[in-house]
């Protein structure tokens, strides 16, 4: 039987391959592939497939397409966030960032191509259930663009004043919300009852990211450490201190667990959530949360 991991990687590889026939610009296709393969934890697409499973997984192809679309959007945002005008990050996932490897122009275009590819994958995946497509597209667009998707979240870094929860909710929470909503929609389920689960989990993930940034070194992170402080970015650790941020993280994970709708898959999903929450923290801090 195919694992969720296999389904996600196959869907991503198929999407990349469709963009790489003879005649495509070779540097751009290489930059796009570099942005997607090998990936990180693929937490958003895993979340999408887990919710689709909890809703009966009535169209696995559409769930795979939704999962891939969300991950492609996430990869696009990483490529653009790493650009010299934002984080100027030379390293991502332990190797050269896209603009370091292929130049700034290819990185701008790779992000653009990935956003387009996300919608393309979704449309192609809806062949069996085309009537599910409009709502899936609407969610993907809302959670990505204006007024409060991940692009809007990133834009708060350009504003003179920003409230930390608004910023994190848009920058990270929105794509987690999309993962749960699209998982439900791809299976013909109701997105609204799943949104809060995704939002809490996304907020927890962002706080864990802030904690790792402050508490891990570059080797553990696969990218430079302590970037939030260096760049003066809003961060849960800057606002609450390390101990406060850990307590906040724990509270958010609890909220996420409570937001899982009751049903045949809810126990599995809560177990998955708590295992994942442990994995998100630096090893030496895990015991504190587990206690």
Binding site for a second copy (CB under 8 A): 18-21, 23-29, 32, 76, 80, 83, 85-86, 103-106, 108-109, 111-113, 115-117, 119-120, 122-124, 126-127, 130-131, 133-134, 137-138, 140-142, 144-149, 151-152, 154-159, 166
What is the Cα–Cα distance from 257 to 120, expressed in whole angstroms?
33
DSSP string, 223-280: S-SSHHHHHT---HHHHHHHHHHHHHHHHHHHHHHHHSPPSTTHHHHHHHHHHHHHHH
41/138 with CB nearer a second copy: 138
**Shortest CB 110 distance to a second copy, Å:** 9
Q: Enumerate residues 6+ apart whose C-beta is below 8 A from 20.
A: 29, 33
134/244 with CB nearer a second copy: 134
> Any idea which residue has 């003879």 for tokens?
22
19/224 with CB nearer a second copy: 19
Distances (CA, A) of 224 to 96, 111, 233, 264: 12, 21, 14, 42
**Shortest CB 152 distance to a second copy, Å:** 5
**Shortest CB 278 distance to a second copy, Å:** 33
**Shortest CB 141 distance to a second copy, Å:** 4
**Shortest CB 224 distance to a second copy, Å:** 19
What is the Cα–Cα distance from 160 to 145, expressed in whole angstroms?
20
88/226 with CB nearer a second copy: 88
């Amino acid at each position: 039987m195919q694992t969720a991991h296999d389904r996600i990687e196959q869907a991503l590889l198929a999407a990349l391959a469709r963009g790489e026939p003879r005649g495509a610009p070779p540097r751009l296709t290489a930059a796009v592939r570099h942005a997607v393969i090998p990936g990180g934890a693929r937490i958003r697409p895993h979340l999408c497939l887990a919710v689709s499973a909890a809703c009966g997984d009535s169209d696995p192809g559409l769930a795979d397409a939704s999962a891939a679309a969300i991950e492609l959007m996430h990869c696009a945002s990483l490529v653009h966030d790493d650009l010299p005008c934002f984080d100027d990050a030379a390293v991502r996932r332990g190797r050269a960032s896209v603009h370091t490897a292929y130049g700034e122009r290819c990185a701008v275009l790779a992000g653009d191509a990935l956003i387009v590819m996300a919608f393309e994958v979704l449309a192609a995946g809806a062949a069996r259930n085309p009537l599910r497509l409009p709502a899936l597209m609407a969610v993907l667009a809302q959670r990505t663009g204006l007024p409060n998707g991940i692009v809007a979240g990133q834009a708060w870094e350009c504003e003179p004043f920003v409230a930390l929860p608004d910023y994190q909710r848009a920058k990270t929470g929105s794509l987690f919300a999309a993962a749960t909503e699209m998982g439900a929609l791809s299976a013909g389920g109701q997105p609204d009852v799943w949104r809060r689960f995704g939002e809490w989990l996304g907020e927890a993930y962002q706080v864990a990211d802030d904690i790792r940034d402050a508490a891990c070194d570059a080797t553990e992170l696969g990218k430079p450490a302590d970037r939030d402080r260096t760049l003066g970015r809003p961060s849960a650790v800057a606002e609450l201190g390390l101990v406060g941020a850990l307590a906040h993280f724990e509270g958010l994970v609890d909220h996420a667990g409570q937001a899982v709708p009751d049903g045949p898959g809810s126990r599995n999903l809560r177990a998955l959530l708590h295992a994942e929450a442990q994995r998100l923290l630096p090893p030496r801090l895990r015991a504190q949360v587990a206690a």
